[in-house]
Amino acid sequence: MTPRDAFKGIAQDLERRHELHRGFFATLLKQNDWSFVIQCHSLIEAALGDALTHRAHTQSLRALFDQLPTSDARTGKVAFAEAYGLLSKDQGHFVRFMSTLRNSLVHRISNVGFTFRDHMAVLEANPPRSYAAGSKA
């Protein structure tokens, strides 16, 4: 089985389990950048809920996991996933980045025109402090 075939199977399983339309993953790549971020974040949250429920071996905890904030450093889904060894620190950092980006986009409708190109230009002109000195924070 090729990696592409494996991903296709995983995508189809997620689409079925989360009642997404068939081909959701393929259409995701055709969305504008704003929609892509919002929908990817929703997928990340669903995947974290799936992984935590599976790891806890208790389906009844799913509703509880779904209600947890994603990125709270002490009580969020990412904190649990890191503690269970389901996410590395770098993966957790990425999910927190996506959560921050999603939150900044979703709370103002004027952000609907968001593009990664413009966002990256701003970051290159004004790097966040944690990256300014080349740190990996």
My answer on whether 23 and 66 are in the same domain is no
Is residue 31 within 8 A of residue 115, CB to CB? The reply is no
* Sole residue written with tokens 């974290």: 48
pLDDT band at 115 (very low <50, low <70, confident <90, very high): very high
My answer on whether 68 and 123 are in the same domain is yes
Mean pLDDT of 2-27: 82
pLDDT band at 133 (very low <50, low <70, confident <90, very high): very low
My answer on whether 62 and 15 are in the same domain is no
Predicted pLDDT at 135: 39
Picking from 46, 34, 54, 24, the residue whose alpha carbon sits closest to that of residue 95 is 46
Per-range mean pLDDT, top range of 21-35, 48-62, 118-132: 48-62
Distance, in Å, from the CA atom of 102 to the CA atom of 16, rounded to the nearest integer, reads 24
| Average predicted confidence (pLDDT) for the chain | 87
Q: Residue 40, class by beta-carbon neighbours within 10 Å (0-12 exposed, 13-18 middle, 19+ buried)?
A: middle
My answer on whether 77 and 45 are in the same domain is yes
Is 102 within a domain? yes
Structure-block tokens of residue 49: 């809920």
pTM of the model: 0.79
**Residue 5: which domain range?**
1-30
How many domains does one find in the chain?
Answer: 2
My answer on whether 26 and 54 are in the same domain is no
